[in-house]
Structure 1
Amino acid sequence: MVTYAAVLDVPRHIVEFRARLLAAEAPDLHEVLDLCRAQGRTHVVPDGTLIACDRLAGVRENGNDLWFSQKHKSFGGNIQFLAAPDGTPLWVSDVEPGSTPDITAARTHVLPALYKAAADGLPTLTDKGYIGATSAFTSPYAAPEATPRPPWTEEPAPRMRCSDT
């Protein structure tokens, strides 16, 4: 006898099977970077994002939920991706728990390969989240500290009184 739950489970297994087939055919990061160099791309752009999902089981060592992102205040998985200069996605990493900071996920999945690519002549342009990761990437720089205000602007304004007459 086939149950209703078993019938609903079939499409999920088909989707999972197709996803595994597609993942097996996808090029790895080093192949993508070699292809970018061969095509003469001017640069690549790494970035990360949180993909929202339902709450998943898992607790960190400090007791917080593993898949909860404090930055986004929601549950999800952190992925890193590499894009072409026009924004076309070229590569996507495996998912990390949402509590993983972008820079940590990038150091795990994408940065080691990008160091070599930068040394081989393929520049990497990053956003502010990658400042300090390495000097091999071109990142926006932080705005300089505001110039100090002149001392006379810090003094309170003199009190003025009206005469009673």
Structure 2
Amino acid sequence: RQLAFAILDGTLIPIDRVADQRPYYSGKHKRHGVNVQVIADAAGRLIWASAALPGRTHDLSAARQLGIIDALTSADVMTFADKGYQGARGTIRVPFKRHRSRPK
């Protein structure tokens, strides 16, 4: 509650292959890994990091599954995120996503 604003982002941490490979394979990055959601303050200092989720988990799905969006909205913390969180609503702010048919 004491933060002026926070930064939310997800990252893929590469791992070796495991017995059940399918959930840990990220099609976007073309490698096996785990998805970790991170909340940082304005200076970039780590505030919170999530437990590891399978690499194929989308950032928005991971944030919803972990309850990050609800927690930040209920605490009324303005949060900035990348385009991967488009549609999060609440106090999450994302960049404008231009439609592909519109000119730059």
Q: Does the TM-score normalized on the shorter chain lie above 0.5?
A: yes
Task: Give me the whole-angstrom Cα distance separating, in 2, the residues matched to 1:98 and 1:42.
Answer: 31
Equivalent pair of 1:67/1:99 in contact (CA under 8 Å):
yes
Aligned to 1:70: 27
Counterpart selection for 1:140 from 84, 95, 100: 95
Relative contact order, CA 8 A, sep 6+: which one is greater? 2
AA aligned to 1:130 is Y
1:123 aligns with 2:85: no
Structure 2: stretches of 5+ with no match in the other structure: none
Aligned to 2:39: 82
Provide, for residues 109-144 of structure 1, a one-character-per-residue CA deviation record: whole Å limited to 9, x for no partner.
2222112122xxx21111111111114322111236
Q: CA deviation at 1:90?
A: 0.8
TM-score, normalisation: structure 1: 0.56
Equivalent pair of 1:117/1:123 in contact (CA under 8 Å):
no
Identical-pair percentage: 37
Which structure has the greater CA radius of gyration? 1
Task: Give me the whole-angstrom Cα distance separating, in 2, the residues matched to 1:57 and 1:134.
Answer: 37
Aligned residue pairs total 101
Provide, for residues 58-105 of structure 1, a one-character-per-residue CA deviation record: whole Å limited to 9, x for no partner.
26xxxxx11111111001100101001111111000110111111111
Query: More strand by proportion, 1 or 2?
Result: 2
Task: Give me the whole-angstrom Cα distance separating, in 1, the residues matched to 2:29 and 2:98.
Answer: 24
Equivalent pair of 2:7/2:80 in contact (CA under 8 Å):
yes
TM-score, normalisation: structure 2: 0.86
1:53 aligns with 2:11: no
